[in-house]
Amino acid sequence: MNSSLQSVGAIEAHHLHFSAPLRLTSGQSLSEYSLCYETYGRLNAARDNAVLICHALNASHHVAGFRANDPKDIGWWDNMVGPGKPVDTNRFFVIGVNNLGSCFGSTGPSSLDPATGKPYGSRFPVVTVEDWVEAQARLADALGIERFAAVMGGSLGGMQALQWAMAYPDRVDHAVVIASTPRLSAQNIAFNEVARRAITTDPEFYGGDYYAHQTVPRRGLAVARMVGHITYLSDDDMAQKFGRTLRGSDQYRYGFDVEFEIESYLRHQGEKFSTYFDANTYLLITRALDYFDPAKRCGGDLAAALAGVKSKFCLVSFTTDWRFPPERSREMVSALMQNKARLAYAEIDAPHGHDAFLMADPKYHGFVREYFEQIVTSPQARSAA
Amino acid sequence: MNSSLQSVGAIEAHHLHFSAPLRLTSGQSLSEYSLCYETYGRLNAARDNAVLICHALNASHHVAGFRANDPKDIGWWDNMVGPGKPVDTNRFFVIGVNNLGSCFGSTGPSSLDPATGKPYGSRFPVVTVEDWVEAQARLADALGIERFAAVMGGSLGGMQALQWAMAYPDRVDHAVVIASTPRLSAQNIAFNEVARRAITTDPEFYGGDYYAHQTVPRRGLAVARMVGHITYLSDDDMAQKFGRTLRGSDQYRYGFDVEFEIESYLRHQGEKFSTYFDANTYLLITRALDYFDPAKRCGGDLAAALAGVKSKFCLVSFTTDWRFPPERSREMVSALMQNKARLAYAEIDAPHGHDAFLMADPKYHGFVREYFEQIVTSPQARSAA
């Protein structure tokens, strides 16, 4: 490791309340809401060095550094964002924001509905990638950021970066879209639906209003996480990490308790997840994934959907990612090239499947680092931010 | 379709009771048991034209023809087995047998335990591929079949054919192993474990003794089937059949009811399955899949495990099968070749994923047909069978 790679240090989250209603894609509205966010680095005087990081399914605004009251709680993309890191906080002012519908600080199904004084539960509206970008744009307004040097994300976060470039062509200098896709496949939707059925058929789900019953659909949520987790790892990686290794023995015990290491690992992942993640949020976020399909409004023509885009693009995919394989990124590359967009694209030969976007693979991080190094910003200087 | 391809017609199942205890791989025993089976064609005088068909996860002894009392209930491999079909019942005497632990007629967890007079439930022992083959061998003894012209199966059925060739090298002339594998991968086990967790964490599971509570873990079983079903289809096939087509509209409705066709299809598959399949059987069969690993007793060396094999082999894999991809079949081919076994192997370029083994792809069926045509048997003649 390069000794110049440092943590952004202890970080405190901020909350910003928005009292103007947010009209959603579905036609419904949120009358008011809060967004939770963190920032790293300093906004320069020209206000042209801001980078927005959008999160994926189970992440949050806590992108980098650690929480002051819990030094082990390190941000989910800490290897990417920090002083001397690919997204260098010595140069860039980085914002991590928690999306609407989440359970990590922004308004979501477990928040109190001001209309009733009770948790939203099943009454929380369906939110889309488009809605998230809209809410993020309002946050940018509030922070005085007219234009982002970059909007960046992996997986579902990459969809948000793409949506930013479409919705706000003049507010995004660079869109960084990693391990993402312009739309889910039938198989992707199928896995989401299995996860949702596991949750909604759990008797403790109570139609989404389990808060009132002082319970959570823990079992369904654990199964949902297990099936999701399989799709994040590559077959090879799983074979290498777990193979057919038995747990605590080299002999079969012939039963249904944990026998193989992979079973133990998955059960643990599922159970841990079910203790901290909100089931309604899982439903909302998987549904936002399902719905995202910008080409739909242009009869399936992604190039047409991207016609108004002015941002420059950085795209990355990973060879062993079978959730959003390289073909999906190539589809975006092709549609962007038809629009003569400036872009850089790398297919990284990494063994870790979809999860590779979270790992510090040198080729991957080197590519992102070089991309950010050529982003032009005004000199860093003391600012009021 | 060739007009000479006919059904074997109306078929009745037979039951055979075995009162000698069956010692199982686990060390446990079944004190007595019944096997349910069907036969098609006629055993010849030399008794050398018998073909045993082994079934996979959710199938049964009902391989071909239709049930006399339900003409729509057609055997699961009716396109493969019948007069003029690849496994030609004008030449071969074909046996379909339901495995121990099943819920379709042979002794299983829902059968009455003679020791208690109540369903076995959680007390039904874990059964393995080896145990199934042992039980099938006893059935062959009872039917007076010393040696099979062929033992054949797809997927888990292929494991049984392989096991037959290892356990009874002198009783199997040809082993036909289709869309199978010599062992599950970590990812395969992972999917099985998700399915099992969905079942065993369903509150209606009652530790496997739901029969006593007049209920079934229907919800868990449906989720289990949904996740299994995804692994049977190829990504491409799912994209082609369902894509992102919406159910009953071309507009999003922004909710959690069925929105996409693929959701409707999967839910329907899951719900239908949960009405007729026994949850304990699902657990047992997925566990038998997990455990099968003949190379384990030879330190992982499959060629060594196959050293005693004398059968000739026919192997088939399908290019889009991501459950048991062609590499797994090639591994068996390689291990057999190291033992100088005679074999024929085809990789069929078919779009239907793992389920391709159940379909009447002309290249696939042509290959199997040619293979069976060169199997030498004594002339067909009237026999006592």
Q: What is the pLDDT of residues B153-164, one digit of tens each?
A: 999 999 999 999
> Collapsing DSSP states into helix, strand and coil, what is residue A22?
strand
Chain B touched by A124 (CB under 8 Å): no
The minimal CB distance from B287 to the residues A126, A219, A256 is found for A256
Taking only the tens place, the pLDDT of each residue in A103-114 is 999 999 999 999
* Averaged pLDDT for residues B303-314: 97
Strand A312-318 to A343-348 pairing: parallel
**Looking at the predicted structure, is the pLDDT value of residue A168 above 80?**
yes
Q: How confident is the model at residue A4 (pLDDT cuts 50, 70, 90)?
A: low
**What's the mean pLDDT in A328-341?**
98
Question: What whole-number distance in Å separates Cα of residue B261 and Cα of residue B247?
Answer: 5
Enclosing H/E stretch for B165: helix B156-167
Whether the CA torsion B351, B355, B357, B359 is positive or negative: it is negative
How high is the ipTM of this complex? 0.95
Q: How far is Cα of residue A12 from the mean position of the Cα atoms in its chain? A: 20
- The residue ranking higher by pLDDT, A384 or B53, is B53
How far apart are the CA of A122 and the nearest CA of chain B, in angstroms? 10
**B 170-199 residues inside an 8 A Cβ radius of A:** 183-187, 189-191, 193-194, 196-198
Q: Are A174 and A200 in contact (CB under 8 A)?
A: no
| Helices then strands, each counted (H, E), chain B | 10, 15
CB-CB neighbors (< 8 A) of A183 in chain B: 244
Q: Are strands B22-23 and B29-30 parallel, antiparallel or unpaired?
A: antiparallel
More confident residue, A381 or B234: B234
B 342-381 residues inside an 8 A Cβ radius of A = none
Neighbours of B71 (CB within 10 A): 12
Q: Is the pLDDT of residue A249 over 90?
A: no
Note the Cα A278 to chain centre separation in Å. 16
What pLDDT, on a 0 to 100 scale, did the predictor assign at position A385? 44
Per-residue pLDDT at B2 exceeds 60? no
pLDDT reported for residue B249: 87
Q: Which residues of A touch B256 (CB under 8 A)?
A: 126, 196, 200, 283, 287
Which residues in chain B have Cβ-Cβ distances shorter than 8 Å to A181? none
Question: From the candidates A354, A355, A361, A365, which is the catalytic residue?
Answer: A354
**Which of B190, B241, B262 lies nearest to residue A189, judging by beta carbons?**
B262
Straight-line distance from the first to the last Cα atom of chain B, in angstroms, rounded to the nearest whole number: 31
Residue A1: what pLDDT?
Answer: 44
Mean pLDDT (chain A, rounded): 96
Q: Give the CB-side neighbour count of residue A218, counting CA atoms within 13 A.
A: 11
**Length of chain B as a residue count:** 385
Closest CA–CA distance from residue B224 to any residue of chain A (Å): 9
Those residues with Cβ within 8 angstroms of residue A138's Cβ, 6 or more apart along the chain or in another chain: A18, A20, A22
CA A300 to chain B, closest CA, distance in angstroms equals: 11
Nearest to B197 among A183, A223, A290 (CB): A223
Do the Cβ atoms of B256 and A184 come within 8 Å? Answer: no
**CB atoms closer than 10 angstroms to residue A313:** 24
**CA–centroid distance for A182 within its chain:** 15
Q: Does A255 touch chain B (CB under 8 A)?
A: yes
SS3 state at A46: coil
Residues of A in contact with B197 (CB under 8 A): 222-223, 226, 267, 270
CA angle A229–A9–A278, rounded 5-degree value: 35
Residue B5 pLDDT greater than 90, yes or no: no
Neighbouring residues of B327: CB distance < 8 A, sequence distance ≥ 6: none
Contact predicate A175/A182, CB 8 Å = no
H or E element that contains A364: helix A362-373
Radius of gyration of chain B from its Cα atoms, rounded to whole angstroms: 21
Give the burial class of A383: count Cβ atoms within 10 A of its Cβ; 0-12 exposed, 13-18 middle, 19 or more buried. Answer: middle
Average pLDDT over residues B135-142: 98
The pLDDT-based confidence of A381 (bands split at 50, 70, 90) is low
Q: What is the CB neighbour count within 10 angstroms for residue A340?
A: 7
Which band of pLDDT confidence, cut at 50, 70 and 90, is reported for residue A68? confident
SS3 A24: coil
Tell me which chain B residue has its CA closest to the CA of residue A192: B263
Residues of B in contact with A267 (CB under 8 A): 193, 197
pLDDT at residue number B4? 57
Looking at every residue in chain B, the average pLDDT score rounds to 96
Distance CA B88, CA B98 (A): 21
Q: How far is B160 from chain A (nearest CA, A)?
A: 18
The whole-model pTM stands at: 0.96
The answer for A 7-66 residues in CB contact with B (under 8 A) is 25-28
